[in-house]
Each structure stands twice: as structure tokens, then as C-alpha cells.
A and B are shown apart, each in its own frame.
Chain A
Amino acid sequence: MYRNFLIIVSLILSAAFHSGPVHADIYVGTTTPLSGPLRELGKNALAGMEAYFNRVNSTGGIHGQKIKLIIKDDKYEPRLAAQNMRTLIEQHDVISVIGNVGTPTAVVTVPIAIENKVPFIGAITGAPLLRNIPPNRYVFNYRASYSEEAASMIDGLLKSGIKPHEIAFFTQRDSYGDAGYDGAISALQKHNFFNTHTLAHGRYTRNSLNVEGALATILDVQIKPRAIIMAGSYAPSAKFIKLAKQDLPDCLFLNLSFVGSAPLLEELGAETENVIITQVVPGFNSNLPIANEFKRDLKNYSIFAKPNFISFESYIVAKIFIHALQSVKDTNITRESLINSLHKLSNLNIGLNLNISYSKEKHQGVHKVWPVMIDDKNFMPVDWNKLRESLKQSDLKTDTLANAP
């Protein structure tokens, strides 16, 4: 009798210990603006991740474990973002924080992640603070940095015949704006232009639409800018472009990817001409395998059915993340084993037609930037040389106008 009891107890115990970790879920967290002026960005970022995670969960999960994404709204406010991070780590014990949106929030969230040794993966920001050299063990990026985006803008502009002193800046008065500005300035310096302080630089306050002062600052400068590099969010950027077009009808407006292409397009309404946006993902309408996969999954697994660059980016991030999780051998996945697995990802082809590799020394997924131009509500790849031709024509037009009596 007693012996039977023992056997039963041991069976129950072994079953309990055996099945425990297998059916537990993998908790992943994200803090992102879901209300406030950047809510569109946050929602899109969520859509991409959710689409991929839902697909994974509906096809068996990771070693039988489901991915649970814990979502926290930070309204693009660093104070809230910090609170959210602590909640995710302390209450939900997330294995990783993934796809956070925003630079000012990253300023506070990254140290919290590092302090708690929580992997901080694929944040939707190109800020340099996530790109230390050598990289921090807990911070992994997918996208190219703002500096790289800005540098590609400078490269393109110079290629299309615009002179350095014809470039002006419109930036948000914070670390994001700084990152874009600094990236462009150092790119200019690489092209041996050092009088950067003479270039007009208008700034606006975060979470406000007070862009008039910035425009006045730019217009006050003697030389009329032919291109304005913009590091702002979509609402003020759109307002700025619309306002500026009244004074500078032929000027190019170059936006960093973070601006949020879809909402920008929406805000701009008809006035989409001469607006360029650098992207950190290829066009989702291209024929790349992942683009098709993304659109299909988004349709099947997300309520935000509209594909855009941000959801595409977060989809890619989610896919890289799942790859890393799947290559953890142990069923009991820990933060450290996840990082070790990420370090081992090498020449990963997820359908981007380029290989993604991480290692202890390299936490940056890609460096490539895809500039696009809005053409009839569509985003078309920019050909800088072609742009040069069209600019020449408009120059002529402008010159004739300017020289007219």
C-alpha cells in the first residue's frame, strides 16, 4: 500500500517536472507608443511582430512553447517607457525586450535592459547609443543607424548635384534629432565640407506641432536651401513640409526612416512631391521572398492589415528573433542562452537577399539603406542620377524665375 503510494507520488512528481518547462510560454516584452502623436508608429511596429509571432504560435511554437508578447504603451515618453521596462522585467520576467520604438525612450530603456541583463533586440531606432563599439552584450540591432541613413542622404544629394551649402536641417529638439543631424554633418565632413555651422538648422519641440519658428530660422539664412534633411516625426514633419513648400517649392525634403512613411504620406495629402524617405528595409512590394511572406502573414495573422515599412521592419526583427530562439538547444531557454544563440547566427538568409550575421563583436544586423520617393501614393526607389536630371530642369526653371525682371 505504502509502496504503491510512493510509486504514484514519484510518477506525479516526474510528470510535473517533465511537463513543466515544455508547456510554459516564452514571454517577450515591448514598450512602444500606442497613444500620442507617434501612436501610428507603435501600432505598425506591433503589427509586424504580432503577425510573425502568431504564425509561429499557430504552427507549434518554439519547442512546444508559445510566444507571448507583452505590450506596454509609453506614449513616446521616456518616463513611462522606464516604468514599462521595469514592469516587463520584474513582473513578467520577459526573456527579451524586442522592437521598442523611439530614441528618447531608448535613452532610458537601454540602461535598464543592460542593468537587468535582458536582451534588447531590434529596437526601431537608429540612435548611436544602441550602437556602441564594441557592442553591449545585451543590445542587438537589425536596422542601419541614423548616421548611416543621414550619410546615405548626403551621398545621394551630392551625387544628384546639390552643393553642401545648399543643404539645411529640420530636426526634433532631442537625441533623435541630434543623431540625424550629427550623422549628416559627419558625412559632409567626409566629403570635405567643414563649414557646417553655416548651414541652417531649424528645430522644434518634441510632441508639438510648433514648426513655424524652425521654418523661419531656415528661411532667415541668406542662401536658399535646395534640400532639407529632416529628423522629425511624421506630424510636425508633414506640417513643416506643407508650410515650407509655400516658400521653397522646389526644395527636396529628405526624411529619416523613423518619420514613419505611411502616416507621413497620409498627413501630406497631395503635397508629396520632392519628399524622400530613407528606409531600413527594402520595399515591401518588391519581389523579395520575405516581402511576400510578410504581406501574407500580415493578412492572416494581424488585425492591422496594411503593410508598411515599420511593420515590415518589426516583422524582420521578429523573424530574426525567432531564428535565435529556435537554435537554442535546451528547452529551458534563458536570456543568456538566447544571447549565445544570437551570437551564433551567421549568414542568416531570411529572404532579404542579403546575409545577416551576429557575433560577440557585431550586434548590427544590416547597414544597408533603401531611399524611396513618394510617387502617386507609392514609395518608389530613388535613383540619385535621375534625380539630378530632374533637378537640373527645375533649377533652370527657378533660375529663369529668379532672373526674371
Chain B
Amino acid sequence: MKENLLQQLIFQLNNANIKQLLHFILVSSVTAITILAVSTIVIENYSYDSQKILMENIIRTETLTKNINHTISSLILRNRTIAFSNNIDSLMKVPDRTILEKNFKKDLNEIRQILSSEKSIHIIEDFETLFKKFALIDDELFSNKQKLILLVKELNTNQKILDDIVNEIINAIDSVSGKIKLKATRTRIRINKNLAVVGPDSQSEHILLLDNLLAQQRQVESASHQVQLSASQIIQLSQKLTQTDNKDALIDIRDNEIAQQLSQINISLYVLSGNLKEFPELMKDIIRISDALRHLVKISIEDKRSIYSLWAQYLDLSLFIESEINIEAKKYADSMANTVKDLESHLGLIINKHKRKTNQLTKSLYIIIICISLFVAFFISMILHKLRYRINHPLQLIGDAVNNLTKGQLTSRLDDNDFIKDEFSLLAHSFNTFAKRNEQLINELSSTHDALLENQHRLNAVLENALVGIVHLKDRKFISVNHRFEEMFGYDRNHIEGLKTEILFFSKEDFERVGEVAYKKLRENKTYYDEWLVKHKNGNSFWCAISAKSIEDGKPEFGSIWLYEDISERKRTEEQLITLANYDILTNLPNRGLFMDRLQNYINLAKRNNQIISVMFIDLDRFKRVNDSLGHEVGDKLLKVVADKLNNCVRSSDTVARLGGDEFTVIMIDIKNKLIPERTARKIIQSLKDPVYINGHEISISPSIGISMYPDDGDSVALLLRNSDAAMYHAKGLGRNNYQFYTDEMNSESLNKLTLESRLRRAVDNNDFELFFQKQFNIVENKVIGYEALLRWRDESGHIISPDNFIHILEDTGMINTTGEWVIYEACRYLKLLLSENSYPVRMAINLSARQFQDKNLLKHIDNALNEYQLIPDNIELEITETILMTGSKTSQEIINELHDMGCNIVLDDFGTGYSSLAYLKQFPIDALKIDRSFIRDILSDPSDAAICNAIRAMAESLNIEVIAEGVETNEQLDYLIANGFTTVQGYYYGKPESGDTLVKSNIKQTKLKLVK
């Protein structure tokens, strides 16, 4: 039957097809794995269970054994404590045994339940017997020990009683001896008294009586002493009794020493009573003593509870305890300890045995598993072998046929008869059909191939030479790219084809965004167009115009054509345009337009978010002077430096803008309070404080800063700007180089200035200026030697405005150049008129402003004016201020030198108010200097002013420089000046400045008068 089954199996295997064989393998593998798994689990479970049982039992048994060990130790300790306790308290403090006993029995029972071997039962039974014996002995020890201690206690009580008895005896003896002594004394006194009164016969009788009495007293004393002594001896002996450690010594003390003392006491007592017979009152004491003595004997030796018998019992008992109970107890304790050890070692044996058994079982189970595995493996490999043949053989045949096809033998076919009817026979049939069809196709293909090739060549030429990158994409992957694309992005087409277009973008987000937008369009059958910053292979970025169209209408999934055009150049141009429109070219700061735009945006934002904005208007103090004296190139560089410094002073979120000229603004957004702009303003002032070096010039510049706050100072760009400007002007008014927050009062002030400026501009345009002239007098010769031309502005309403009020605006705005030129011409014109009328030559003093020295045309203007009015340079004096000299500008120095060389007189105006450096006088070709009017005004009242004037005059004289005293108003001043050697003066003393027309008229009059004369 078994054989049949096997044969049947082999037959089946031989005839099975591949699928069936695979089934066989699968079934047998699963069976094998299941068997293995089940047996492993069984083994594992078994060994785990037995291990667990073992472990649990072992741990439990070990714990129990330990407990028992501990209990036994406690019992032994308790037993020892009893043995060594020596008073009733400590004995009573010994813990109760019942708990320990209960624990012991409980633990032992539990062990008995766990361990069932014969040996262990034997051990446990032994243990119980031992314990019972120990308990008995322990009880005996305890009760005996208790007895012993009670004995000791009783002994102590007896000792105390003894003490009391002795005290009683001593007291009684003291009483006896005292009484006998008193008796003797009294008798002696009485006899002595009687001796004096009775005759000699009875005298001797009395003496004899006294002697007897004294002898009696001595005997009583000695006997009392003896009694006292013996009594004390007995006490000592009683104590000695309790110190003996054997019974023989005890009996010896009782029968010899104590008995001896007792007989001694009896003798003494006899003596005492003999002596005291005559004193019945003392007999009472003697009876007291003998009673006490009897008591003493009783307590010490005679009584059943006497010290003697108590101690004898004590000795017996302690001997018994020591020799019998204690030894026995110790023996049992030791045995119990040994039994615990036996139990422990027995436990060890059991554990080992158990372990061995488990290991053996596990091992045999493993062997079974291995056998099963081997059998299954053999069976499977048999099937596999069969399977290999069944696959290999037909494959070989098919392979050969395909090989033939490849070689071009298109007629190659397979023979059906070579195949068993299975999967491969189907394959062979299909192959034959395929070979036949293939033969037909190949023939058709070769004819169309040539035509197609030609067409493709033409198309490629167009694509490859296109000026935009053309890409064929499918699923956002490169199918093909053209040459331009390769050029643009730096990829080789061979490398790129098949990759995703993501490589062209800087981020996945960009890529996805493009995909999303583009494919939406393409699906709508529209053309996609956008501009993106794309990535070259080398990582560079450039702008690209990307357009796409799907190949099939609205179906980009079938492929799409993408055009890439490099538009970087165009983008650059656009950006430049934006920058130009919004940024200041010089400083790269936002310009006015961008500033306004940003401010508007910030205001909008701030309105929404309830934020505070501050606008700072910064004007550089005397920047025009820098421009004038050092030239625009330096000025521009300075502006750049200032721009950088400003940028460093503000937060990154703030905007620094240049409105034009030397005006900067700062917008600070989202600030909490005024402290932040205030701090920034201070920072700006501080950072501009350090001098700047440009083209070898050391330039110091300071700002005036006005600050307005949104929303407090205005809610529009225009208002904020205007108010910060007003605040700035206020700062300037307060001495420059500071900052001011806008307040409402400032506005009118600023407005005034603004209107003044515009009015002045109009005045320049309309030439609403006039010249007035002030006489210069030679006080020695008492004649007019010249005039100073003074600028006056006659405004719209006809008011004459003095230059103090507008000259700085002219200078700041640069209008001074125009006006200055006019002044030169006009002065020359009047001089010509005056000279033509005057009998002697006079000169014309013309004031020049620093700004005019920036302009090389100044020389030309002067030269032209002189020529036009046929004047010689010596006719004019050019008045300059120290500030012009101070700037140290090369241009101004050259101009001054050239003017002097031309023959013009150079006069230093307002001398004494500025630095008044003598070095200038040497360095520059100065012909005359004007002492400032302030010195002349106080020349009489202030000695130091007078001293300065005189010093200047003396110095000027030594340098051969003419001195002109300005502002002479009184006769006294004039006298002083005359007296101190001044020659030329100027001032109201000689009349106020006159208009040109008036001057000319009066001159004509004078001349006419002279002529008449």
C-alpha cells in the first residue's frame, strides 16, 4: 500500500506540468514549514513551561528555605538571649516564640508541598522532630531561667533584710552600752556625793561597788562589741555564700564559719545577759538583740528561703541549666542549622536534576525537527530537478528558433511534436504565428523606411537651427531638445533626455507652479506663456520666456512642445529702468518719488495696524559751502558718504531717501514712541560728527534734523514731509547740528522761510535789488575817499529789506551768483558816474560772497565790468570775509591771487569777529582790513576793545596794510580814532547809506557848487 502510494506519486510527478510541479513544491514547503513551526512551538512551550515551573518552585523554595533559616536563627538568638539574661525584666522582654513557631511550620509545610521526593520528606520530618525537641528544651530553659532570676531577686531581698537586722542589732547594742554607761556615770556621781557624807567604812564598800560597776560596764561593752562584730561577720559570710560557685564551699561556710560566729554570739550574749541580770530594763534590749540575731541566722542559713538555701538552689539550677539544658538547646540549634543546610543542598540537587531532564528532552525534539527538515528538503529538490528539465528543454528549442530568426532566417519554425502539451507547446505555436507575421512586416518596412528618413532630416535641420530652445516634453520629461536649448542650459541632449524638467528650476515649488499653470492652459488648448528665472547647468540663473503648446489639441499627456527664450538682457534693461525711476543715481538711495510712494504705503499699513511712523528730514548744515568751496565733485562724494552713514544709523526696515541736494529723509515704521527716532537722530548726529576725508580735504559736516510723527503730526505724505521740514528748519534756527520734533508752532516759521525764498527768487528774476552807498572818510584829510556798495532789496510792497534778512538765502540757494554779478556791474556803473562828476578819484568797495569764489567766472565778470565802464582795477576794493580764507579752497585762493594781480584791492571785512588769524594776512594778498563795527562801538567804554583796535592798527601798519574803522557813529569815537592814528573810517556819523541816485545827485550838486565857487 505504502509502495503503491510512492509509485503513484512518482508517476504523477513525471507527468505533471510545470504548474502542477510548482504546486507540489508549494504544498510540500508549506507542509514542512508548518511541521517545523508546530514542533518548534511545542518544544519552546514545553521547555518554557518546565523552566517556569522550575524557576517558580525554586524561587519559592529558596525563599522558604531562607525564611526557615531566618526563623531558626531568630529562635537560636532568642534561646541565647534567654540563656544570658540575668534579670526578670530582660527575660520578660524576650519575644514570644509562637509567631516564630507558626512561621516555621507554615514554611515547612509549603516546602513539603513543593518538594515531594522521599529524601526531602525525610529531611522535613527530621526537621520537625528536631524542632519539637528544641521547643521543649527552649521552654525548659525559659522556665528555669525564670526561676533562677526569681531566686536572685529573693536573695537580694534577704540581703537587705540582713542589713536592717544588723542595724537593729547595732541600735540595740548602742542603746545597751549607752544605758550601762549612763548607769555607771550616775552611780559614780552618786557614790562621789555619798563619799562626801558617809563614813570611811562604807567608803571602801562604795569604791568596791563602783569598781564592780565599771568592770561590769567594760564587760558589757566588750560583749556588745563582740555581738556587733559577729553579726557583721555573719552578714559578710552571707554575702560570701552568694559568691561561692560550688555546693561544698557553701556547706563549708555554713557549717564552719557561720556556725563558729553563731557560737561566738551566743557566748557573748550569755556574757551580756549574765552581766545585765541586775538591770531588768536592759534585758528588754538583750531580748531585742537575741531576737534580731535569731532572725539573722534564720535569714542567712536556717530558713527554707534563707540565703544559704536559696543560693544552694541557685547553684543547682544554674548548673542544671548550664550542663543539661543549655548544652541540649545548643545541640538542637546546631542540628537545626545543619538541617537547613541539608535542605538547601537537597534543593540544589533537585534543581540540577530537573535542568538535566529538560535539556535532554529538548535535544531529542530538535533532532526530530532536523530529520523532518532533511526529508522535506530532499523531496523538494527532487521536484525542482524535474522542473528544471521541463523548463530548460523547451526553452532551448525556442531559443534556437529565435536565434535563427535574428540571424535573418525568417523562415525558421518550431516543430509541434517536440513539445509535451503544456505551457511551452502553446508558446511554440504562438512563435510560429509570430515568425510568419514578422516575415511579412519586415518586407513592408524596408520600403517605407527610406522615405521617412529623408523627411526627418529636413525637419531636424529646422529645429536644430532655431534661435529658441525647443523641447519635446511628455509627462514633464524631456523627450528631445534642440541645439539652442543645449546651448542655453548647458546640458547635453544625451544626458537630459528622460529627465524631468525640474532641473531647469531653482525650486520644486517653481517647477510645480509652472506645471500647474501650464498644463491647465494646455488642457484648455491654449498656449502657455510666462517668464521665469531658470537655472543653467552650472547653477547660474537667467530669465527665460517659456511658452508651451500641446502636440495634440487639449491633450498635453500625449506630449507638448516647449519654447525657451533667453530674455536676460531685456530683463536687465527693465530693472535698470525701474532703478533709474526710483533711485538716486549718486547715492543709490530711494529718490523722492520712491520715498513718497513708500511713505504712502507705510501710512496705509500703519492706518490698518494702528502703528506709528516717524519721518525724519535731514539737511546738511552748510553743505552749500562745501560745494562752493571744494567743488561739486567733493560735494557728491560727501553726499555718498553721508548716505552710507545714514544707512548705518537706521534699522533695516527703515527707509533712507535722498530728496535732492543735501536733503535726506528717513522713514521709520512701526515704532512705539518718540524714543526710537530720537535715538536714531542722535546716532546720526554722532556718526556725522567725525570728519570725512575726501580728495585730501578734511570735511566736517553736521545735520539739522526735523522729525514728524504719524499720526500725531499728520496723516498724509505731504503733511508729514512738510512738518518734518518745518522741524528741520527749526533745528537750523536753533544753531544747527541738532534734531527737533515737529510742533504746531513751527509751521508758520517754516512757511515764512519758504515764502521768503520764493519771493526772493522772484526778486532775482525781476531784479528788485538796489545798491546803496556808504561813504568812506579820510579823517586826516577830511574828505570822502570812497564808497562801499551795499545791496538792498525793495520787495513787492516797496519796503527796503536789508541783506541780513536774505543774503543767506541767496547764498544757500546759489542765487547769489546772479545777484553778485549784477552788484559788480551796478557798482562799477555808479563808480563811473561818480568819477565823472568828482574832482578827485574815489574808490568803490564791493562785497563778495564765498559762494562767488566757487565760480571762476568771477574774474571774467569783474574784468568785463571794469572794461565796460572804463575803470582801472585800482578803483575797486573787493571785500571778502575771513570764511572765504578759512575754507582753504584752492580755487578761492587762486581767484584772490589773480584779482590782486589784476590790480584790485583786497579788503578783509569784519576783522576781529572771526578767527582773525594773522596768518591769513601773510598768506593772502590783503591790502586793507576793516575793523568790525562792534569794536568801534565800545571803543570808549571797553578798554579791551580799544586795545584790540590799537593793536590791529599797529600790526596792520607794520604789514603795510591799510586799516578802516567801521561803524563810527559819534564825535567822541571819531576823536579817539584820530588821536590814535586811524586815518580811514566809515559809519553813520557821516550819514546813512544813500541810494545811488541820491548820491549822484548830491555829488553833482557839490561839484556845481565848487564850480560856482
Instruction: List chain A positions with a Cβ less than 8 A from chain B.
Output: 205, 208-216, 219-220, 243, 247, 405
Q: Indicate if the CB atoms of B189 and A212 lie closer than 8 Å.
A: no
Output the least CB separation between A221 and chain B (Å).
10
With beta carbons under 8 angstroms apart, the residue of A210, A216, A243 that contacts B175 is A210
Contact for A216 among B171, B174, B181, B197, CB less than 8 A:
B181
Measured between beta carbons, the chain A residues less than 8 angstroms from B156 are: none
Q: How far is the CA of A209 from the CA of B182 in the complex (A)?
A: 14
Q: Do A213 and B189 touch (CB < 8 A)?
A: no
Complex: how many Å from CA A208 to CA B171? 7
Sample of 16 further A-B pairs with CB below 8 A, known A209-B175, A213-B181, A220-B185: A205-B171, A205-B174, A208-B174, A210-B174, A211-B178, A212-B175, A212-B181, A215-B182, A215-B185, A216-B182, A216-B184, A216-B185, A219-B186, A219-B189, A247-B186, A247-B189
What residues of chain B lie closer than 8 Å to A205, measured between beta carbons? 171, 174
Are B186 and A210 in contact, CB atoms less than 8 angstroms apart? no
Interface centre among A205, A210, A215, A220 (most CB of B within 10 A): A210
Q: What residues of B have a CB within 8 angstroms of the CB of A211 in the complex?
A: 178
User: Any chain A CB within 8 A of the CB of B819?
Assistant: no
- Chain B residues with CB under 8 Å of A215's CB are 182, 185
In angstroms, how far is the closest chain A Cβ from the Cβ of B113?
Answer: 52
Q: Give the 6 A-B CB pairs with smallest separation, nearest first.
A: A213-B178, A212-B178, A212-B182, A216-B181, A216-B185, A210-B174
Q: Hey, which chain A residues are within 8 Å of B174, CB to CB? A: 205, 208, 210, 213
Question: Whole-angstrom distance between the alpha carbons of A216 and B181 in the complex?
Answer: 6
CB-CB under 8 A from A220, the residues of chain B are 185
Distance in Å from the Cβ of A76 to the closest Cβ of chain B? Answer: 15
Q: Given A219-B189, A247-B189, is A210 in contact with B171 using a C-beta cutoff of 8 Å?
A: yes
- In the bound complex, what is the Cα–Cα distance between A249 and B178 (angstroms)? 21
Closest to A205 in B: B174
B753 at the interface (CB under 8 A from A): no
Interface set, chain B 146-192, CB cutoff 8 A to A: 171, 174-175, 177-179, 181-182, 184-186, 189
Q: Which residue of A has the minimal Cβ distance to B175?
A: A210
20 contacts between A and B (CB under 8 A): A205-B171, A205-B174, A210-B171, A210-B174, A210-B178, A212-B178, A213-B178, A213-B181, A214-B178, A215-B182, A215-B185, A216-B178, A216-B181, A216-B182, A216-B184, A219-B186, A220-B185, A243-B182, A247-B186, A405-B197
Distance A63 CA – B184 CA, assembled complex (angstroms): 66
Greatest chain B CB density within 10 A among A216, A220, A243, A405 is at A216
A210: B residues at CB distance < 8 A: 171, 174-175, 178
Q: Using an 8 Å CB-CB cutoff, how does the interface string of B941-974 with A read, 1 for contact, 0 for none?
A: 0000000000000000000000000000000000
Smallest CB gap from A213: residue in B: B178
Counting chain A CB atoms within 10 Å of each CB, the highest count among B177, B182, B197 belongs to B182
Q: Give the CA-CA distance A213 to B177 in the complex, in Å.
A: 7
Shortest CB–CB separation between residue B887 and chain A, in angstroms? 85
Report how far A215 CA is from B189 CA in the complex, Å. 13
Question: A214–B185 Cα gap in the complex (Å)?
Answer: 11
- A44 CB → nearest B CB, Å: 26
A75 to chain B, nearest CB (A): 13
Q: Look across to chain A and name the residue whose beta carbon is closest to the beta carbon of B196.
A: A405
Count residues on chain B whose CB falls below 8 Å from chain A CBs.
13
Contact A213 B171 (CB under 8 A): no
Per the bound structure, the CA–CA distance linking A209 and B176 in Å amounts to 11
CB of B190, distance to nearest CB on chain A (Å): 10
The minimal Cβ–Cβ distance linking A401 to chain B, given in whole angstroms, is: 11
Q: How far is the CA of A247 from the CA of B177 in the complex (A)?
A: 19
Q: Which residue of B lies closest to A405 (CB)?
A: B197
Alpha-carbon distance A35/B189, docked complex (angstroms): 39
B36 CB to nearest A CB, Å = 66
Chain B residues near A212 (CB, 8 Å)? 175, 178-179, 181-182
Q: How far, in angstroms, from A326 to B834 measured CA to CA in the complex? A: 127
Query: Which of chain B's residues has its CB closest to A207's CB?
Result: B171
Nearest A residue (CB) for B189: A219
Cα–Cα, bound, A220→B184 (Å)? 10
What CA separation (Å) do A212 and B181 show in the bound complex? 7
Say whether A208 contacts B185, CB under 8 Å. Answer: no
A216: B residues at CB distance < 8 A:
178, 181-182, 184-185
- Inter-chain CA distance A214–B174, complex, in Å, is 11
Minimum CB–CB distance from A200 to chain B (whole Å) comes to: 12
Chain B neighbourhood of A219, CB < 8 A: 182, 185-186, 189
Partner of B182, one of A208, A213, A405: A213
A224 to B181, CA, bound (A): 18
What's the least CB distance linking B939 to chain A, in Å? 93
Closest residue on chain B to residue A218 by CB atoms = B185
Which residues of B lie under 8 Å from residue A247 when comparing CB positions? 186, 189
A205 to B189 alpha-carbon distance, docked (Å) = 25
Once bound together, how far apart are the Cα atoms of A243 and B281, in whole Å? Answer: 15
Residues in A neighbouring B171, C-beta threshold 8 A:
205, 208, 210
Task: Tell me the nearest residue of chain B to A224, going by C-beta.
Answer: B189
In the bound complex, what is the Cα–Cα distance between A220 and B182 (angstroms)?
Answer: 9
In the bound complex, CA of A405 to CA of B171 (Å): 42
CB distance from B225 to the nearest CB of A (A): 14
> How distant is A159 from chain B, measured CB to nearest CB, in Å?
30
A303 to B409, CA, bound (A): 154
Q: Tell me the smallest distance from the CB of B497 to a CB of chain A, in Å.
A: 79
**Distance A214 CA – B182 CA, assembled complex (angstroms):** 8
Contact A208 B175 (CB under 8 A): yes
- Name the B residues within 8 Å of A243 (CB-CB): 182
Cβ contacts B782-807/A at 8 Å (1 or 0 each): 00000000000000000000000000
Residues in chain B near residue A209, CB distance under 8 A: 175
From residue A370, how far is it (CB to closest CB) to chain B in Å? 33
Q: How far is the CA of A215 from the CA of B184 in the complex (A)?
A: 12
Q: A86 CA to B185 CA in the complex, in Å? A: 47
Residues on A with C-beta less than 8 A from B175 are: 208-210, 212
Chain A residues lying within 8 Å of B189, measured Cβ to Cβ, are 219, 247
Q: Please, how many angstroms separate the alpha-carbon atoms of A216 and B186 in the complex?
A: 8
Cα of A220 to Cα of B185 in the assembled complex, Å = 7
Measured CB to CB, the closest approach of chain B to A214, in angstroms, equals: 7
Least distance between B104 CB and chain A CB atoms (Å): 42
Q: Which of B4-63 contact A (CB under 8 A)?
A: none
A211 to B178, CA, bound (A): 7
User: Contact mask B178-216 → A, CB, 8 Å, 1/0?
Assistant: 110110111001000000010000000000000000000
- CB contacts (< 8 Å) of A214 on chain B: these are 178
Residues of A within 8 A of B179 (CB): 212
Residues of B within 8 A of A208 (CB): 171, 174-175
Cα(A234)–Cα(B16), bound, Å: 142
Q: What's the least CB distance linking B788 to chain A, in Å?
A: 98
Provide the bound-state CA to CA distance between A213 and B181, in Å: 6
- Pick from A212, A243, A405 the residue with the most CB of B within 10 Å: A212
Among residues of A, the one whose C-beta sits closest to the C-beta of B171 is A208
- Nearest-neighbour CB distance to chain B for A390, whole angstroms, equals 25
Q: Which of B175, B178, B186 has the most CB of A within 10 A?
A: B178
The answer for the CA separation of A376 and B11 in the assembled complex, in Å, is 157
Q: Taking the nearest CB of chain B, how far is it from the CB of A223, in angstroms?
A: 13
* B285 to A, closest residue via Cβ: A210
Bound-complex Cα distance A397 to B197 (A): 20
User: How far in angstroms is the closest Cβ of chain B from A244?
Assistant: 10
Q: Across the two chains, which residue of chain A brings its CB closest to B172?
A: A210
- Distance (whole angstroms) from the CB of A104 to the closest CB of chain B: 16
* Closest B residue by C-beta to A202: B178
Bound-state CA distance A216–B178 (Å) is 8
- CA gap between A346 and B833 in the complex, in Å: 128
Shortest Cβ distance from residue A233 to the other chain B in the assembled complex, whole angstroms:
15
Chain B contacts with A in 686-728, Cβ cutoff 8 A: none
Q: How far is the CB of A234 from chain B (nearest CB, A)?
A: 18
Per the bound structure, the CA–CA distance linking A208 and B169 in Å amounts to 12
Min CB–CB distance A37 → chain B (angstroms) = 12
A119 to chain B, nearest CB (A): 34
B288 CB → nearest A CB, Å:
12
- Shortest Cβ distance from B348 into chain A, in angstroms? 57
Return the CB mask of B596-610 against A: 1 if under 8 Å, else 0: 000000000000000
> Please, which residues of chain A bring their CB within 8 A of the CB of B185?
215-216, 219-220
